[in-house]
């Protein structure tokens, strides 16, 4: 079963089985503006929950992308290196950054569901 969860730092995690795709939310990309560069983690990297795992640079600023869960990076989205604008065009689709094999599914309990995330964003706009 696939489910989408969010962090308070505006990353998403689309979990399918024991692997999750990580990227920045539509709200985050809209705040960043035009994305011009993405630095992805190395395959096999093992970020802990809340640690920096990637970097996204836009015409406005550079921002860290934090891992929503602990685990091992099992895939990176190489398409972003050639076309970082995918983050703006389709953040929760073709604009994902990396996929991580979850080390502890219990960490998912600390993430926000869609309703809670929308409530958070509503306080920011």
Which domains occur in the chain, in start order? 2-118 (2.40.50.100)
Report the chain's terminal Cα–Cα distance, integer Å.
32
What integer pLDDT is reported at residue 2 of this predicted model?
A: 80
pLDDT over 90 (residue 1):
no
What is the pLDDT averaged over residues 34-44? 97
- On whether the CB atoms of residues 115 and 10 are closer than 8 A, the answer is no
Q: Does residue 73 contact residue 46 with C-beta atoms inside 8 Å?
A: yes
Q: Is it the case that residue 96 has pLDDT exceeding 80?
A: yes
Whether residue 22 is predicted with pLDDT greater than 70 in this model: the reply is yes
Contact present, 25 and 92 (Cβ < 8 Å)? yes
Helices (H) and strands (E) in the chain, counts: 4, 8
* Cα-based angle 21, 27, 33 (whole degrees, multiple of 5): 100
What is the pLDDT confidence band of residue 48, given thresholds at 50, 70 and 90?
Answer: very high
């Amino acid at each position: 079963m696939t489910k989408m969860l969010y962090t308070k730092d505006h990353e998403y995690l689309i979990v399918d089985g024991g692997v999750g795709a990580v990227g920045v939310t539509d709200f985050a990309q809209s705040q960043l503006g035009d994305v011009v560069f993405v630095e992805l983690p190395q395959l096999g990297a093992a970020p802990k929950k809340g640690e920096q795992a990637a970097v996204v640079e836009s015409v406005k600023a550079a921002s860290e992308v934090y891992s929503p869960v602990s685990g091992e990076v099992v895939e990176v989205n190489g398409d972003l290196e050639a076309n970082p604008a995918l983050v703006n065009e389709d953040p929760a689709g073709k604009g994902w950054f990396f996929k991580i094999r979850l080390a502890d599914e219990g960490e998912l309990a600390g993430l926000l569901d869609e309703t809670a995330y929308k409530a958070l964003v509503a306080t920011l706009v």
